[in-house]
Each structure stands twice: as structure tokens, then as C-alpha cells.
Chain A
Amino acid sequence: MIRVNGLTKDYGARRAIDNLTFEAKQGEILGFLGPNGAGKTTTMRILSGYMPPTAGNAQIAGYDIVRESLEVRRRVGYLPETVPLYNDMTVFDYLKFMADLRHLPQAEDRVEHALEMVGLVERADGYIGNLSKGMRQRVGLAQALLHRPEVLILDEPTIGLDPAQVVEVRNLIRELGKERTVLLSTHILSEAQQICDRVVIINKGRIVAEDSPDNLQARLSGAQRVSLRVRGESDDLVEKIAAIPGVQEVIALPDGALEFQHAPGQDVRPEVARTVIQANYDLLEMHPVGMSLEEIFLELTGKKRK
């Protein structure tokens, strides 16, 4: 379990994160979303015990991250953004070293098991320096899983992986998240949508939204945008639809498709349908378009489209 309360970090005069408060329960995968430089890595570094916050506090598995840092570090599996590895060690030796530092009983069995989980058994005796980026990422993940931690903090866990590996790692995280608390950062929105139970969106060090991916989408998009499609070209329809009261913006798209926006709480679809039929067009489809998480994200972080 992760409980963050008013967490603030200053780097000199620059405030990297500002009064963050959020929670992640056991068995929950919390996605940490934000553009580069939003403060994701800073937050994760603080939670993993790498550095103390300037103000505020946080508990992990019931332990204070500053006063009981060692207890926290024993219970956290952390995959840093840079995936720090010793290039001159073999995969096995590296993991054995990390297992020893954590005083794990039957360290070698634990290493074997972690290697199985990330699918690196056959590279165990290879030097880390010779591994591809994706494999290094998996070694880092194995390191974070060695001690079967209650809490996993993963900073951009799928970055640099090929599509097949991305799917594998996502499945692994989903599996791990069933009984553990997982905090993962990403700037790939579809990833957050696929694997996270809840997302926290941060921008410039502040939380701008926090909800489940589906709720966020529903809450912010509504049914304000509708897409429709007719047989043939839709040129003169644009004006006709735009003339209907309540319709705000009509965009013609190729192949008889067009999209329009209407004021919230004012359903203009029946009127639009009648207009299309009366103009002698064959109405093929009409459906509301939700805002994608991408658009929500851009809207929340103030980077509007166009």
C-alpha cells in the first residue's frame, strides 16, 4: 500500500513536485501519467528511498519513507528509469549480488525464479554489457521482483521494448498487480488504459486528474461529439447540419463521413437524422465519439490540439 501526503520536492529554486497526495491500495495498479519533466521520476525516487522529500510525507506498507527508510526499501521493488546495471557482471551474478544485499534465503533459487518470470533463463550466464535494451529492461525488472516485494515501483517499465516484449511485460505487471501494489509511470496512454486500475495524471509537479481510465474518459468526453456517415459525398450536408440549432462545429471528412459537436445536455441526433433523410442521403451510421485518453491528457496538461 502506498499513501502519499502533501509530497513536495524542490531542486534548488525549482519545485519539481508540488503537494502531491494520492493513494494506491493493495492489489491495485496505479498509473502515473504525465509529460516528460512532470515530476514522475522525482516522485518515484522519493518513494523508493533514494532521496527525501522537501516537505510532506508518505507511507509504504505502513512505514514512513523517511524515518523508516530501510523498512520501506526492504518492501519495495524498484525499477529506476535508467535501469542501472553493472555491465561487467553476468546476469546471474548481478541478480545474486542484489539478492545477497537483500539477505534473501536460497538466493540462487530466487534468482532462477526471477529469471523465469522475465524469460531470461537462457541469458543468465551472459554479460549484461552484451544485452539489448529490452533485455536490460528485463534484468532490471527481475531485480525488482527478486524479493517478492509488497510494493512495486516501476519507472517506465516498457520503454525500449519491442512490441512482443511490451505485451509480455504488461501481462507480467497485470499478473503481479493482483496481489501487490504497483505504481508505474508511463507517458504511453494506451498502456495506462490497458493495465492500470487507476491513473493519476500529473503536470508540472501537480496532480491534474485522478480516476480510473474509463471514468476519466466518460467524465471528460460525454457524448458531445458525434460522427456520422452517408453513402456518397456529403458536401452540401455540412451546411444543412450546421444550420440545426445546438450544432456547433461540423467537419467534413472523406468518404461521406462527417463529425459535429453539440452543446452538452442537448441531444440533436434525431433532428440531424431527419435532416439527412430529407436531403435524400442514405444514412449509414451515426455514433457518439468519446474523447480518447490522449485528448484528455492533452487537454488536462494544457497542450491543446492545433
Chain B
Amino acid sequence: MAAIVSRMAQGSSNTAGTQAIYKQYTELFGTNKPMLEQFFIYVKNVIHGDFGLSFSQYPRTVAEVIKASIVWTIALQFPAIIAGWLIGNTLGALAAYIKKGFDKVLMPVSILVSNFPAFGMAVILMVVFGVYLRWFPTSGGYGFDLIPAFTWNFIWSVFVHYQLPFWSIVLITIGGQAIGMRSMSIYELNADYVKYSRFMGIKDRKIIGYVFRNAMLPQVTGLALSIGTMVGGALVAEIIFSYPGLGYTILNGVTGQDYPLISGVTLLITLMVLSATFLIEILYGFIDPRIKAAQSD
């Protein structure tokens, strides 16, 4: 698909760099060959980790550009999404169990927060904590005056730059998860087995353990299904903070009309999301014994 796309979108400028890339591309990808053959050549190259040269950052290969940015994205997004998911589920479960005041406050807030566009949350956090309070820097992955190295100075700078993008992703994830978990928990709390356990005189604490374990299951599936959307939102948050991850690389690719870069990055994001989904599916088997039981039948 990426090969087709890079072929479909053609806008060229006559600089020496682009010429060289064109020449190299004709050889590398065989642009003079039929479409299907091209596609196989592309796939073969990709399997070998060769995405070709980047147009906008000419001497660098796409693989290099991606290698430089993927670490930032993984280190930012996965902890943030998991933290948001955990906090959101805990809050939702508490809202379902405690009800009353907590629920009354938490629910409207989560509905409002979950409706906030990802970039909106990022911008507001940035203005409040970055521009007015000046607690955190507003852009970049580390101080512009530093060279990546294992010094305390650098690590501290990375840590400080990490906070705003991290919390903006966490906050957005919390809202939706809390709402889902709350309705699942309410549903489970009214289930027959809960009433039965109450009549049996089983302790409340134990029942709650059962309830939340059951309510978690759809949430895990939900995470697997929505991780793609979440990554999309997180990419935009990266762009707002000029965080040197894949989102920012895509933006550079778009502004620089850099087809190889875009196809490489999108392919990689797809792979990341697919593997995350796969991991969650495997985890699901451990959490829910019924899945295993169904498979062994």
C-alpha cells in the first residue's frame, strides 16, 4: 500500500538531492517495473529494514530517522496509555461502588474530559503549566542546549520535558475509561451472582473482587480495540509539544512531502499497534480463564 501511495503522490522539485533520490529510487524500487512487481520489491526491502532514503532529510535513510524517533514515542505513549487506563478504571470502579457525591462529581468531569480533543488538552496543559506557571518546558524532548548523554543534567531535562506530554495523554485516556468501567461495574453489581453471594453471606470485599474482575474484561477488550485511536490522539499530542517522536516525524514528512518517510512511519505505527493488540489478546487469556477453557474444548 505504501508503495502505491508513494507512487500516486508525485510532486517533485528539481534539486540535485531529489534527482539523486529519483535515480536511486528507480534502481531500488524498480519504479519502471509493473506495479505488482514494485510492491514485492518494496515488501522485500522492508523486511530487510530498508525503507529507502528520506526526501526531506536527504542523506539520512528513513530507517535512521525512524530509529531516532521511535524510542521517544514508545517511552511516552505506552506508559501514558497504561497509566491512564489503570487510573481511569480505578476511578470508574470507585464511582460505581461509592456512588453518591464521588460519582456525582467524577462522572460529569470524566464526560467533559473525555470529550476534550487530544490537542486541546495538550494546549491547555501547555499554556497553564508551561507558559503561565513556567513549571515545565513547552517543547522538545530535552533541553535545546544539551547533547544526548548519560549525565544527570540530561536525564533531568528529559524527565522535565516528559511531564506535560505524558499527563496530557493520561488525562485524556482517564475520562473514557472511567465512564466505561463505571457502567460495566454497575451492570455487574446488579448481576444475579452478586445477589446470590450476598445471600450466602460472603464478605463485601470478596464480592467486589469478583465484580471488578468481571467488569475489567470488557475494558481489556476495549483497550485492545481502541489502542489504535489512542495512539492517533497521542501522536497529535506529540506534535503540539514538538516531542521528537513519530508524530512529529509524520508532521515533518507531511510538510516536506516526504513519501518514503510517511509510508515508513505509518507502516511502523501499524506494526506497533498490531503487536500491542496481540499482546493484550494474549494477556486476556491469562486474565479470563473462560477463553482458555473455550479454546481447549
Q: Do A and B come from one complex?
A: no
* Chain A positions near chain B (C-beta within 8 angstroms): none
